[in-house]
Structure 1
Amino acid sequence: MDAPVIFDPNIIILLPNHRHKSERIVDWSELTFETNNEETIIHFSPKLGKGYNRQISLRGRLTIEIIEAQLKETMYLQRKHESNFPFTSHFYLSGMSTVETFNTSEIKPSYIESTGKNYLYHLPDLREVEKWSCNTKIRVISIYAPVDYFQGFCIGEKINYNPILNLINGDRTSKFHLPLGENNPQILKALSQIYQCPYHGLTKQLYLESKALELFALQFNSCDSSIFIPQKLSLKKDDLDRVEYAKDILIKSSLNPPSLTELARKVGLNDHKLKQGFKQLFSTTVFGYLYNYRMEQAQQLLRDSNLSIAQIATRVGYSNPEAFSTAFRRKFDQSPKNYQLKN
């Protein structure tokens, strides 16, 4: 398997007004490639915005991919995964994406990958459209391993409800997308060490390989067997579309959000279905989603602006800076000031 490239020529990039047309908006000759030993950096075309895709190839075809981007406008990536799709570990540090999947009953038809969370997945022989938002800076680290990478670590019988072990034991058809929750302090430390790797040459390769395997180990450890049991999707696609619309309304009115009842009425759902839909699509409550979005905005402002803590609190919908600081500390286990100083 060649090292995975998010902007390879098989991916079709679509504008928002043309998302269902097979129409590329980027000429691959517009991208700038830098190659240095085992590392490749792909700089984004000006049509897309500012940013890069950095790929580091390690032993055994293990690959670390780092993406940083500030898009000019919302972008859609239309992909068709091949049968040799790699085992993927995925960490969102900022930004979010919405993914629609097609022609599969094993994966949700629509799901969100959001800031501060991590995912483990294997999605061979699958077609999808991923929507990247331009509202916030995207910072993502992914680790790709060929399917046979872990076979030397695990020998066992097939277990019907555990697709990870089935995959490791040779079932290449095993298909799953597992949301594993918040990036805990151990995960954040390992991700930071990848970003700030101080080494070169062989030492760099050994160090980054150890960090990649550490992140896989932390994810494996966090897996509970209950998450492998398939869950019946209870809402229809039309209802899920209305939940997506409610999410958009919530984001646009994040400084003065509607009540739950008002939001449900705006999108044509009752309160119960709206709450059920947010749990199904975003794994949180309606106002839990709003809280996460506000904290994501706060992170970006603390990192990329010179605003005071009080000004940032107001920008993200908090009239009381102390209430904002408490909310931020609850989410990220540090004060806004400490985060600002470190970034």
Structure 2
Amino acid sequence: METLTSEEYKNRFIEYLEKTDKEVFKCNGFDKSIKYKDRFSTCLVCYVELRPGLWLIIYDEYFEHDLSNWIHHPGQPFPLISHFHLSGNLRTITPGIQEISEDYVQYIGKNYLFYLPNIDEIEQRFAGEYCLDIIINIYPDWLKSFSKNFEFLPTSLQSFLKDECPSRFHHTVG
């Protein structure tokens, strides 16, 4: 399995753009779609800004080769992420992060709610796997605009909304 850094992962898309005359970007107001093919996968990614602070991202990807992607999650502002796996499994390795398991799989049909700023992780996808993921990024200011009363929320979400530096968490929701 080949491992790519986030920068290398981004560069594979740029290389594709340079080698093809195909239209890969389609923008319609706040929507953006990117379609590309490289030596690892064929991918369609759609970004929809539902409103400032609330994003919907859809990944539709078929992997022709194993891929291990080293990803850095930046610091603040970092969104609360709800990740739905409709097809394909995702193995994630997070060495040295106390708040979450060091090696776990996000399974088909499950969804996950997490807040993981300032970490490095390795995501692994496997040849022959079709992956369909829906991701919702929720920034704290947008969520805070609904109310000042968060007592009905789980403790980790209360921390996410009230604390200057909330604790990291990763929950399987369903």
Instruction: Name the TM-score class by shorter chain.
Output: 0.7 to 0.9
Q: Which residue of 1 aligns with 2:57?
A: 65
Query: Is the partner of 1:128 in helix, strand or coil?
Result: strand
Aligned residues of 2:81 and 2:137 also touching (Cα < 8 A): yes
Q: Which residue of 2 aligns with 1:79?
A: 71
Pairing 1:135–2:119 present: no
Query: Is the partner of 2:157 in helix, strand or coil?
Result: helix
String of CA shifts for 1:169-210, please: whole Å, max 9, x gaps. 2444321110112xxxxxxxxxxxxxxxxxxxxxxxxxxxxx
Of 40, 43, 67, the residue aligned with 1:51 is 43
Q: 1:76 to 1:95 in 2, by over 3 A?
A: same
String of CA shifts for 1:263-321, please: whole Å, max 9, x gaps. xxxxxxxxxxxxxxxxxxxxxxxxxxxxxxxxxxxxxxxxxxxxxxxxxxxxxxxxxxx
One-letter code aligned to 1:71: F
State how far apart, in whole Å, the 1-side matches of 2:120 and 2:65 are.
Answer: 23
String of CA shifts for 1:130-168, please: whole Å, max 9, x gaps. 00123321011111011222113343589xx81111112
Query: Is the partner of 2:159 in helix, strand or coil?
Result: helix
Q: Which residue of 2 aligns with 1:286?
A: none
State how far apart, in whole Å, the 2-side matches of 1:22 and 1:167 are.
Answer: 26
One-letter code aligned to 2:44: Y
Pairing 1:35–2:27 present: yes
Q: Higher relative contact order at CA 8 Å, sep ≥6: structure 1 or structure 2?
A: 2
1:237-252 correspondence to structure 2 within 5 Å: none
1:270-309 correspondence to structure 2 within 5 Å: none
Equivalent residue pairs, number: 164
Aligned residues of 2:40 and 2:64 also touching (Cα < 8 A): yes
Aligned residues of 1:98 and 1:112 also touching (Cα < 8 A): yes
State how far apart, in whole Å, the 1-side matches of 2:28 and 2:150 are.
Answer: 42
Q: Which residue of 2 aligns with 1:104?
A: 97
State how far apart, in whole Å, the 1-side matches of 2:116 and 2:104 are.
Answer: 14
Q: Which residue of 2 aligns with 1:124?
A: 117
String of CA shifts for 1:83-132, please: whole Å, max 9, x gaps. 12211111111101000113321111111111011110110011100001
Which ranges of structure 2 fall in alignment gaps of 5 or more residues?
18-23
Of 141, 149, 170, the residue aligned with 1:148 is 141
State how far apart, in whole Å, the 2-side matches of 1:128 and 1:30 are.
Answer: 25
One-letter code aligned to 1:57: E
Q: Which residue of 1 aligns with 2:8?
A: 24
One-letter code aligned to 1:64: L
Q: 1:97 to 1:36 in 2, by over 3 A?
A: same
Query: Is the partner of 2:83 in helix, strand or coil?
Result: strand
One-letter code aligned to 1:60: P
1:212-251 correspondence to structure 2 within 5 Å: none
State how far apart, in whole Å, the 2-side matches of 1:68 and 1:20 are.
Answer: 20
State how far apart, in whole Å, the 2-side matches of 1:21 and 1:119 are.
Answer: 24
One-letter code aligned to 1:58: L
Aligned residues of 1:54 and 1:67 also touching (Cα < 8 A): yes
Query: Is the partner of 2:8 in helix, strand or coil?
Result: coil
Instruction: Indicate the RMSD between aligned Cα atoms, in angstroms.
Output: 2.5
State how far apart, in whole Å, the 1-side matches of 2:126 and 2:144 are.
Answer: 37
TM-aligned CA deviation for residue 73 of structure 1: 0.9
Q: 1:74 to 1:163 in 2, by over 3 A?
A: same
TM-score, with structure 2 as normaliser: 0.83
TM-aligned CA deviation for residue 55 of structure 1: 0.5
Q: Which residue of 2 aligns with 1:291?
A: none
Aligned residues of 2:86 and 2:108 also touching (Cα < 8 A): yes
State how far apart, in whole Å, the 1-side matches of 2:6 and 2:56 are.
Answer: 29
| Greater helix content | 1
Which ranges of structure 1 fall in alignment gaps of 5 or more residues?
1-15, 182-343
TM-score, with structure 1 as normaliser: 0.44
State how far apart, in whole Å, the 1-side matches of 2:114 and 2:150 are.
Answer: 21
